[in-house]
Structure 1
């Protein structure tokens, strides 16, 4: 998925992205989270801004809750 460096990304965006990684790589949620931290965020939580990272973490919680 292509992302511009500036925008705040939505919770729904991250849910979709995490589910895609989980499905395509047969990863658990924790493995997908690590994969995205390394490959998407480039090992820096603020790569796409603090708000995007907060929404990433909220997306993880929603997936854990089954939503």
Structure 2
């Protein structure tokens, strides 16, 4: 899924992406969260900026 580094990613984006990971890999939300952090964010919360990472946390932490 291509991402523009200059854009802020929304909660809806992360909900959809995490759901796709869970369905494709038949895994839990926690496993999808770990996978997405390592693969999407490349293990660095600053990869797509503070706002996008905050939105990711909002989805994964409640």
Where on the TM-score scale, by shorter chain, does this alignment land: which range?
over 0.9
Matched residue, 2:8: 8
Whole-angstrom distance in 2 between the partners of 1:47 and 1:6: 11
Structure 1 consecutive aligned stretches of length 4 or more whose deviation exceeds 4 Å = none
- Which blocks of at least 5 consecutive residues in structure 2 are unaligned? none
* Gaps in structure 1 of 5+ consecutive residues: 63-67
- Give per-residue Cα distances to partners, 1:15-60, cap 9 Å, x unaligned: 0000000000001000000000110000000100000000001112
Give the length in aligned residue pairs: 62
Q: CA RMSD in A?
A: 0.9
Tell me the CA shift for residue 61 of structure 1.
3.4
